[in-house]
Amino acid sequence: MKILPLALTLFALSPLAQAKQNDPSLFDTQLTPMGAERAANADGSIPAWDGGMAPGAAAVSANGDYADPFAGEKPLVIIDKSNLAQYKANLSPGQQAMFARYPEYRMRVFPTHRSARLPQKYYDENRANLSKVELTEHGYGLKNYMFGVPFPQPTEALEVMWNHMTRFRAGSVRRELASATVQERGDYTLVVYEALSGFRENLTDVGPNDNILFYNRILTRSPSRFSGEVTLVQEPLNQVAEPRSAWQYIPGQRRVRRAPTVAYDSSARYSFGQVTNDSVDGYNGAPDRYDWKLIGKQELLVGYNSYQLASKSVKYADILKPGHINTDLTRYEKHRVWVVEANLKPGARHVYAKRRFYLDEDTWQIMASDIYDSRGELWRNYESYMVQQHDLELPLTAMEATYDMISGRYAANMMTNEAAKRMEVNFPVSKSEFTPAQLKRLGK
């Protein structure tokens, strides 16, 4: 405790004023270009923002393996069941439940680095969005939005959630990913697929008034029983006015079919019920089934600068252990997060009755989520593990995990450790690359 005397002290959620805020001068004084607080926290355990990690901070190999810029650092503290009580104030209920469910569970806590950095054109757009972007349809859509953070000075829950759903993800991405649902005793089937994503700002044939946020196409490569399956999602900006469109091609059926269930609480493909479609990436899709409340801001221990976990020298078998991912590979830092709560509307249907989200102030990524069942019991814990791809000025999820407190299973997603090729980013894409007609051809 002498090493970290005030870094993890008790602390209440800070209240937020509900008056609209759109003062561009704050970006030059109190706020970063992303809308985060520039200043350090009271005890200095969260440093002041200094611009983020500059390109060239560490070596990057040809296959996209990032050397850890903080490899020489030692943990400030290792939290386990014996000292958990001292640190509960900076842990979510879901994170605390991990220690109860798994007696050997631990968290390695390192010094905080505010490494997130984005290209200047996104910072400029964030500033422009301050005076033009609006919520529409009860907050279920956006008006006057093209790209960037739509609400860099948010005062409403759905403004915060839209900042997550529209956050910078390189404009376009082509990469290999892997996922696995790990059973209680540790056995799993690894699913490997190729994903192509095109976001609004890189779609050459999308105009300012078009109701599209992104396109996503996934081709499964292995295991053999899933090989050749293709899923296509066309994601609108307003999913209430125009629901998400999705199609799937299954080689055994040799047909392209509409997939209206790729939304809300239906099971995400290959998660076998462990992950709902709208909890991939923390949260995605239409927000109309919940009442949303902005709780405030908090200091939370989150998976940050996770270079060791993302390393190409680490195999999937090294990560995927019984009960939870390998805690010798995780790195936690204390960061400020926005806290948003979603409660299921009366009469609405969803397997999750309540959800609480924790969003990193520097990136708008959901870093953790507490997920409750219809009885009000904590059911699942979601965590995201972030790295800064400094040469691309891109904060990116190295992987995400959804832990089931009841069954002891968990799902791991977005892993790239064994991908042979580096992902491609920031290239022009067209609607024509994301049509149902392509699926059958791709699946052959």
Q: What is the pLDDT of residues 317-354, one digit of tens each?
A: 999 999 999 999 999 999 999 999 999 999 999 999 99
Q: What pLDDT does 254 receive?
A: 87
Are 400 and 413 within 8 A, CB to CB? yes
The predicted structure's pLDDT at residue 391? 98
Distances (CA, A) of 209 to 131, 143, 146, 168: 17, 8, 8, 19
- Decide which of 13 and 275 is more confident: 275
Take residue 227 and report the two structure tokens written for it: 């090989």
Question: What integer best gives the mean pLDDT of the chain?
Answer: 94
> Is the pLDDT confidence value at 425 over 90?
yes
Q: What is the three-class DSSP state of 76?
A: coil
Can you give the pTM of this predicted structure?
0.95
Poorest-pLDDT segment among 15-24, 39-48, 157-166: 15-24
Domain residue ranges of the chain, discontinuous segments joined by +: 26-443
What pLDDT score does 148 carry?
97
Distance between CA atoms of 204 and 226, rounded to whole angstroms?
32
Tens digit of pLDDT for each residue in 344-377? Answer: 999 999 999 999 999 999 999 999 999 999 999 9
pLDDT at 16 over 70: no
End-to-end CA distance of the chain: 59
- Tell me, what DSSP letter sits at residue 329? S
Q: Percent of the chain having pLDDT more than 70?
A: 95
Residue pair 18/24 in contact by the 8 Å Cβ criterion:
no
Average pLDDT over residues 106-125: 98
pLDDT of residue 443: 76
Where are the extended beta strands (E) located within 27-118?
A: 77-79, 107-109
pLDDT in the model for residue 411 = 98
Give the pLDDT band of residue 19 (cuts 50, 70, 90).
low
Q: Which fold has domain 26-443?
A: outer membrane lipoprotein receptor (LolB), chain A (2.50.20)
Tell me what the mean pLDDT of segment 411-425 comes to. 97
Across residues 173-183, what is the average pLDDT?
A: 98
pLDDT band, residue 240 (cuts 50/70/90)? confident
